[in-house]
Each structure stands twice: as structure tokens, then as C-alpha cells.
């Protein structure tokens, strides 16, 4: 699993509750549950865990579900997606039953393209952890072009966002004795050259932002102590983070420093001659997507003059470095219902993945040097499919993409300079898709906006049946349908189990995500957050209106930001929903900005310490809106103690408050595993079985 960029990662894991005023402590009787490793808090977690496991493991189908989920997740017929492509070598992290933490391995590009790779293990993560007495979880490896001999390997203890960075020699398959090494921290590191790194890390007291991210980037020379590294840029404590970014463009490396002012605004600086930093002309709300042919490719989240939001534009980097950047070139403008989601560059082709009504499409763009015009070519792929760009071979101008749907198993395709994409590997079916149907529908939200959703059911089922709706609605993250063995996210094959029971599974594309570009996200931002909750309710009500479901037998599921969503939904409409699944959730929006990475999300939700912001936030903050005497739907909270991004106190306190008010609560907290990366597949397999048992108990749906 690739390590997340700094903008999505969090501060170091505190061992105690954040500082509180006496008034705050008096107002919240559950604050002791914020003590992450506090003995009293852990004892309570273990008690809740035992209660949940005792109840749900007694289900006669639990062990069958768990074993089947584990077999699906560990199946050796899984696709070996490219982790990195280093010249003519393909790197892959392989996880299965024998290697739960993974094998980082290598094969040649030719055999990989032929579908007959011959793998050589480079790092056995399980064996390394055993030898070093560490619970290592793989994050990533950044290998220096063009020879790709040296790599910076990032390993996390137990799956946290924090990791250790160590220099690795690919030619000897060993860590470099005396090489670059960074201790455990939330670091961002990039190769400047073979003997120099650009490093943003925790340099000690006062070197982190209020969000807990690094605020200082330094240049570190080989053979010198980190303490002697020289400053490159220093941000303010109120910034979100400052991080280096280096882009390989043919034989040229371009070094950038990104000063993130908030989650959605940043200054981007380019390193010019002699290390001089030049501010790029990129607007603060825009994003650098890639570099190709000496040009920086930028995505606009807001209009720039007459250029609409959602466009891709470009500037020549030589002009930027010289301080002479003029008006940008227009690379691609958005269509009515087609928006840019992902961009990759090979040496001569800009690959653009678009969403068209939440379905994936792929474009290949090239620039005519004589006219300066960009031309595009559509690359045919499966219709109504989810597409993700997963890797690129630069010199060969090949991009790799995964293609899948709820009923279509993932395939790996390769697209090159000419013609259609070709299939490299097709995963075998894990179930008989002919038994099911998937359709896209649209609900009408409270303000009249049409909200798309995908509905999966058994053929012949007309309803009403128990229904499970999964949604997210935030941070510009589009929710696209995946194979039912992976729906919902981090819950194994729960979606498959559910539709096999004869029930309905729904993926809702509510506002706040990126399904229709920047405007779709902005429509649920800050004071407009209520739109996301209304959208979810609209999908549930559409299921009732069309006879798919019935009030009280509709479950809702959300994870992380989705925890805010389902928490607000259950407190606002306890009559509508019959069960709630909240994974690693945000719940206490009065305290969130003081817990772990919370301060970095103020641009998304608002600042609860500002009266004007709290005025709208308090209307939907889940924890503050739990009322005594109200019967809420049964809720299942799952999370990890070692999650160092979303504080476990959110789920703990919400669970305690609901239970003390007489509501039914299920709770399951793993001691290891991070926010995005689980310790191994065993976690998700158990979770799938537990959640399946929970849904059957609370809204019905025994197998038919």
C-alpha cells in the first residue's frame, strides 16, 4: 500500500488526552476515553470487544463467513498490480496467507506484459519484522531514477501513518550500512540526487505545525548527521504542512516545495538554479498533478479568469524557474458530465482518467510542439466500469489501469501509444455474477439535486428487502463501485454476503465527493454540510419509494469522514435507519481539531473554536446531538487503537454515550493497524463476518 502524501497523514500518536480547560472537562464525562493507551480506557475497550465477539461469534455462520472472507482476500490468483515501475523492472507488494505483511518483489516488464512474470523477492516484510522484533507494515519505496539502484523504504510499526525510512540498495537487496535513515515520524522525503535528500520531518520541539505535520524542509547531505541538514523552507505553525516533491521528467528532475496553508490551499515553489526558490504561478486552490515535457500540469479547483474549474492547464517550467511564466496553456477543459479524476505522465503521453456519471474513461493526450496544441485520443475500456490508474512505464509510454465493476472482477489492462488497451491479467470470478443485477439510479435530494447511486440485488428480488447503503461524501473523494468482494471499503466481502442473502447493497454518490468535480465537493463544504446528510436520506427514501427497501430496515455505513456522515444521519433521522456501521469515525466535532490530525481538516468542516463556525457545526456534530430519551438505531463502531490519524476517542465516546442512554451498541477495536492500512487480511476477514452477523441480527436478512 502506497504511503499517503503528507496532506492526508497525521501527527505523532499521543498517549494522553489533549489539554483541556476545566470547563470542557466538566462538560464531557467521557473524556477519559480519549486517553489512547490509558489503562481504564483500554479495559473498557477490551470489555466492549469481548461483548461484541461473544454475541456475534455465536452466529452459526460466523466461522464460515470469516473463513470465506479470508480465502477471498488471500487468494493467490489475485492481480499483482505494479507498486512501482523502475525502467524495465516492475515492483509489486504481494500479500497472501503465507505472507500477510507482504513480499516486495521484482520482475521484468516484458514478462509482466506477457502475463507470465517471474518474480524475485527483494524484501520479505514478515521475515524482516520477525528478525528485527518489529510489527512492520509496508508503506512504500521511492527509488532514484534513472538507474533505480538506491531506494528509500518506508516501514510502519503496526500500520500507523508514522514510519521509519531506511536506504536500500536494490543491486544487493540489502539495507545500506551507514545509509540515509530517519527515525519513526510523519516524514516526507525526496531524492534531490544520489547523495542528497530533501527532508520534512519532526526535528524536535517547535518544528511541527498545529496539525502535527512537519513545517520545515531541509537539505540533507550523505555522510552528515541529520542535525546538520540545511534549511530550504520553513512554514508557519498555523500552516498545515511543508513538504518536498520531486518529479522525474525524462532525464530531468524538478524539485518543488509545497507549503500547504490549509487542506485545500497551498503555495507551490520550484527550486531553480543554485537552489533558489521561485513561487510558481499556480493558484493557491489548484493542484500540481504531474510534469511532462518540461511542463507542470495543474488542475484547477476554482476558475482562473476565463478558464473554468475542473480544467487542466500547463506552464513551461523553464519559464517558471526564470520568473517569466505567462498565461497558461489549456490542456483539457471539463465536459458537461465528465470530470478529471486522475492524471499520470509517461515520457510523451499525458494519461487522464475521467469520470462520466461516475463511470471511468481514459484519455491519452499529446502536445504538438509546433502548434502548442494538445490533442486527445479516447482509449476504449469496459462500459460503466470503475477505472484506476495503477502504474506507468515512462520510457515505453505505457500506462496500467485496473478495470472492475460490482459484478465484474478486476482486470489489469495496459494502454500504449497506439490502439486500444489490452488485458494483461483478468481475475477469475469469485461468485456467479449471473445471479445478480446492478443498476445506476438517481434520487432527488431536498434541494432538488439528483444524487446517483448504484444498486446491487439478486435477480428476481423486487423488495422490499433489508438494504445497506455505503457512502462517504467528503474531501473530493469519489466513491466508485468495486467488485462485491471488496464492498464496502475495509469490510472484506460484506457486500457480496449481503446480496447473496437476498438483500440490497447500495453505493451512494452523495455531495462532498469528487464525482462531478469541484462543485460537487463545494456543495457539502463547511456550512453546506447538511446537503450530504440530506443526500443520504434522499437515497434511503428513494429505496422506500421504489419498493426496494422499507423504513427501519435500511442500514447505513460510512468510514472516517463517513463516520461523521452516518453519525449525523442517525441523530437526525433515527426513524429512517435501522442500523449504523461507523468505521474509524469522526464523531465529536467540538473536539476534533484538537485530536491528532483534526486541525488539518478545518477547511473541510469548519473551526469549532470560532463561534460563527460552531453555530453551523453544532447542528450536525454527531456526539453533541445524541439526546437522552431518543431511541437510536443499533450502531456498530470498528476502529484501531493505533490509528494515528482519526483519534479512537471519537468512537469510544460516541459508543459510551449511546450505551449510557440505553441504546444498542456493538464495538470492535483492533490494537494494531492504521487508518488506511490494516495489519493484515485477517482483520478485514473477521470484520466482514462480524458486520454480517450484526446486520442479520438488527435488520434481518437471513439467507434465502
Which residues are catalytically annotated?
560, 675
Burial class (CB in 10 A: 0-12, 13-18, 19+), 509: buried
* Torsion angle (degrees, nearest 10) of CA 493, 9, 521, 258: -140
With a CB cutoff of 8 Å and minimum separation 6, the contacts of 137 are 101, 125, 155, 156, 157, 158, 159, 674, 677, 679
Q: What cell was used for 330?
A: 489549456
CA angle 264/160/57 to nearest 5° reads 115
Alpha helices in 220-283 (DSSP H): none
Full strand arrangement of the beta sheet holding 188-193? 188-193, 196-200, 216-221, 230-234
49 burial via Cβ count (<10 Å: 0-12, 13-18, 19+): middle
Radius of gyration of the chain (CA): 25
507: nearest Cα among 480, 533, 473 = 480
Cβ distance 640 to 36 under 8 Å? Answer: no
Contact predicate 231/216, CB 8 Å = yes
Q: Identify the H or E element spanning 689.
A: helix 681-699
Strands 386-393 and 398-404: antiparallel
Helix (H) or strand (E) run with residue 67 in it: helix 62-74
DSSP E strand boundaries for 120-213: 120-124, 136-143, 150-157, 163-169, 174-175, 181-185, 188-193, 196-200
Cα 467 versus chain centre, distance:
25
Q: Which of 202, 199, 189 is nearest to 152 (CA)?
A: 189
CA distance 351 to 359: 16
Q: Omega of the bond prior to 669 within 30 degrees of 0, cis?
A: no
Is 437 strand, coil or helix?
Answer: strand
HSE at residue 267, side-chain half, CA atoms within 13 A, is 12
Beta bridge partners of 640: 670
What is the rounded distance in angstroms from the CA atom of residue 152 to the CA atom of residue 182? 10
How far, in whole angstroms, is CA 398 from its chain's centroid? Answer: 25
3-class state of residue 338 by DSSP:
strand
Read off the C-alpha cell for 444: 432527488
3 state SS of 170:
coil
Amino acid at each position: 500500500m502506497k504511503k499517503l502524501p503528507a496532506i492526508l497523514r497525521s501527527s505523532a500518536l499521543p498517549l494522553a488526552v489533549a489539554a483541556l480547560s476545566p470547563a470542557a472537562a466538566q462538560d464531557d464525562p467521557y473524556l477519559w476515553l480519549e486517553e489512547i493507551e490509558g489503562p481504564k480506557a483500554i479495559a473498557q475497550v477490551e470489555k466492549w470487544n469481548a461483548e461484541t465477539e461473544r454475541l456475534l461469534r455465536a452466529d452459526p455462520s460466523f466461522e464460515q463467513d470469516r473463513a470465506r472472507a479470508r480465502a477471498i482476500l488471500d487468494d493467490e490468483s489475485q492481480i499483482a498490480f505494479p507498486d512501482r515501475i523502475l525502467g524495465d523492472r516492475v515492483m509489486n507488494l504481494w500479500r497472501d496467507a503465507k505472507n500477510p505483511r507482504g513480499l516486495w518483489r521484482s520482475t521484468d516488464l516484458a514478462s509482466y506484459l506477457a502475463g507470465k512474470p517471474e518474480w524475485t523477492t527483494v524484501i520479505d516484510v514478515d521475515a524482516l519484522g520477525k528478525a528485527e522484533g518489529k510489527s512492520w507494515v509496508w508503506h512504500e519505496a521511492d527509488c532514484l531514477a534513472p538507474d533505480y539502484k538506491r531506494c528509500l523504504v518506508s516501514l510502519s510499526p503496526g500500520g500507523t501513518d508514522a514510519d521509519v525510512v531506511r536506504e536500500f540498495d536494490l543491486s544487493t537487496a540489502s539495507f545500506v550500512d551507514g545509509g540515509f535513515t530517519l527515525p519513526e515520524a510523519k516524514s516526507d522525503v525526496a531524492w534531490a540526487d544520489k547523495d542528497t535528500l530533501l527532508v520534512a520531518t519532526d526535528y524536535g520541539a517547535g518544528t511541527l505545525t498545529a496539525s502535527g505535520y512537519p513545517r520545515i524542509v531541509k537539505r540533507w547531505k550523505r555522510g552528515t548527521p541529520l542535525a546538520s541538514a540545511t534549511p530550504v523552507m520553513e512554514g508557519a505553525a498555523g500552516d498545515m504542512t511543508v513538504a518536498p516533491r520531486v518529479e522525474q521528467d525524462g532525464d530531468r528532475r524538478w524539485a518543488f516545495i509545497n507549503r500547504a496553508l490549509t487542506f485545500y490551499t497551498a503555495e507551490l515553489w520550484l527550486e531553480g538554479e543554485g537552489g533558489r526558490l521561485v513561487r510558481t504561478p499556480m493558484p493557491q486552490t489548484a493542484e500540481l498533478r504531474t510534469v511532462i515535457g518540461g511542463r507542470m500540469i495543474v488542475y484547477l479547483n476554482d476558475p482562473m479568469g476565463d478558464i473554468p474549474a475542473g480544467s487542466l492547464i500547463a506552464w513551461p517550467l523553464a519559464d517558471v524557474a526564470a520568473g517569466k511564466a505567462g498565461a497558461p496553456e489549456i490542456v483539457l477543459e471539463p465536459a458537461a458530465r465528465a470530470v478529471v479524476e486522475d492524471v499520470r505522465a509517461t515520457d510523451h503521453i499525458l494519461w487522464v482518467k475521467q469520470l462520466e456519471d461516475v463511470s471511468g474513461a481514459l484519455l491519452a493526450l499529446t502536445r504538438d510542439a509546433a502548434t502548442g496544441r494538445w490533442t486527445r485520443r479516447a482509449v476504449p475500456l469496459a462500459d460503466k466500469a470503475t477505472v484506476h490508474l495503477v502504474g506507468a512505464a515512462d520510457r515505453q509510454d505505457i500506462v496500467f489501469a485496473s478495470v472492475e465493476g460490482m459484478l465484474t472482477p478486476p482486470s489489469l489492462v495496459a494502454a500504449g501509444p497506439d490502439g486500444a488497451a489490452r488485458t494483461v491479467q483478468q481475475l477469475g470470478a469469485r461468485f456467479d455474477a449471473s445471479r445478480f443485477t446492478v443498476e445506476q439510479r438517481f434520487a432527488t435530494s431536498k434541494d432538488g439535486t439528483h444524487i446517483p447511486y448504484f444498486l446491487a440485488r439478486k435477480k428476481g428480488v423486487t423488495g422490499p428487502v433489508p438494504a445497506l447503503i455505503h457512502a462517504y461524501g467528503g474531501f473530493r473523494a469519489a466513491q466508485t463501485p468495486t467488485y462485491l468482494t471488496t464492498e464496502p471499503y475495509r469490510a472484506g466481502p460484506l457486500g457480496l454476503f449481503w446480496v447473496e442473502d437476498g438483500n440490497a447493497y447500495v453505493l451512494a454518490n452523495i455531495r462532498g465527493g469528487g464525482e462531478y468535480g469541484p462543485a460537487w465537493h463545494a456543495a457539502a463544504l463547511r456550512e453546506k454540510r447538511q446537503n450530504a446528510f440530506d443526500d443520504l436520506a434522499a437515497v434511503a427514501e428513494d429505496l422506500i419509494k421504489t419498493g426496494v427497501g422499507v423504513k427501519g430496515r435500511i442500514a447505513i455505513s460510512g468510514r472516517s469522514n463517513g463516520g461523521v456522515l452516518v453519525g449525523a444521519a442517525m441523530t437526525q433521522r433515527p426513524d429512517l435507519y435501522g442500523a449504523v456501521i461507523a468505521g474509524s469515525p469522526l464523531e465529536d466535532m467540538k473536539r476534533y481539531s484538537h485530536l491528532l490530525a483534526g486541525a488539518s481538516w478545518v477547511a473541510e468542516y469548519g473551526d469549532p473554536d470560532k463561534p460563527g463556525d460552531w453555530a453551523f457545526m453544532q447542528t450536525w456534530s454527531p456526539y453533541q446531538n445524541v439526546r437522552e430519551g431518543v431511541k437510536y438505531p443499533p450502531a456498530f463502531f470498528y476502529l484501531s487503537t493505533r490509528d494515528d490519524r482519526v483519534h479512537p476517542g471519537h468512537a469510544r465516546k460516541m459508543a459510551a454515550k449511546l450505551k449510557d442512554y440505553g441504546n444498542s451498541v456493538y464495538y470492535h477495536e483492533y490494537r494494531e493497524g492504521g487508518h488506511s492500512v490494516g495489519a493484515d487480511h485477517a482483520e478485514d476477514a473477521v470484520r466482514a463476518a462480524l458486520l454480517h452477523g450484526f446486520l442479520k441480527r438488527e435488520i434481518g436478512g437471513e439467507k434465502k
